[in-house]
Amino acid sequence: MSTPTYVFVPGAGGLASFWDLVRQRLDARDVPSVAVTLPGPDPSQGLPEYVDLVVDAAAPYREVVLVAQSLGGFSASWAADRIAPRELVLINAMIPRPGETAGEWWEATGSGPARAANDVREGRDPDAGLDADVYFFHDLPPETLTTLQPSPDETDTVFAAPWGPAGWPDVPTRVIAGADDRLFPLSFQRRVARERLGLEVETVAGGHLAALSRPDELAAAILRTM
């Protein structure tokens, strides 16, 4: 079986560079990959345009694996419905239902109460607000933090368009969750994956940005076959 090209889809902000550390690990194993840049700060570009960009990025390759982080679950899964990749890998990702918008997903899945309950369990104030240092950067090594490229703000446009496919794409799908994700706690991700896909999650070390905090472990998990 030939080695597929791994097509990496970022989350909010749309930075392809989010995946640099993981892609370096794939390069060391002679595994080809590309990362998609999405126009997060552009209010004229929404979910359908994001999907087109993912499809275009995959088009030059005969066989691909789509890998998506967080908000990227909406665009990558829709793209998978169009291009039938060998595999779809979701990492701390939003898992949509037909007709659901990314804006509706938060309440529909109960993500807010799940995050608050996890905060209480871990001794944080659930009403303190969504501080990036607490929920995103808490487990990043100092050397990564100092070189981290600021993520652009994501406009509201991408959260407004409904997810287009009539059902989940007929492609092998894996769900990977960070054991220390504070934004989408592990127990929450397990429940959503079971309810929406009938799948169990694979757990890796790290938080919501495991691609930055634990690239070795995440790269190894991504490359595991089903």
Q: Which domains does the chain have, with CATH numbers?
A: 5-223 (3.40.50.1820)
The pLDDT tens digits for 122-174 are 999 999 999 999 999 999 999 999 888 888 899 999 999 999 999 999 999 99
Task: Say if CB 42 and CB 51 are below 8 A apart.
Answer: no
**Residue range 107-127: mean pLDDT, rounded:** 98
Question: Which whole-number Å values give the CA distances from 15 to 8, 10, 174, 192, 197, in the listed order?
Answer: 10, 6, 23, 26, 27
d(CA 171, CA 190) in angstroms, rounded, equals 20
Task: Say if CB 47 and CB 102 are below 8 A apart.
Answer: yes
Q: Is the dihedral of CA 139, 141, 142, 146 positive or negative?
A: negative
Task: Say if CB 94 and CB 105 are below 8 A apart.
Answer: yes
Indicate the helix (H) or strand (E) that contains 77. helix 72-83
Q: Is the dihedral of CA 175, 79, 156, 97 positive or negative?
A: negative
For the chain, give the mean pLDDT: 96
Q: pLDDT-based confidence at 226, cuts 50/70/90?
A: very low
d(CA 40, CA 156) in angstroms, rounded, equals 9
Q: What is the pTM of this model?
A: 0.96
End-to-end Cα separation, the chain, in angstroms? 14
Coil, helix or strand at residue 67: strand
> Six-digit token pair at 88?
């779809």
The pLDDT tens digits for 184-223 are 999 999 999 999 999 999 999 999 999 999 999 999 999 9
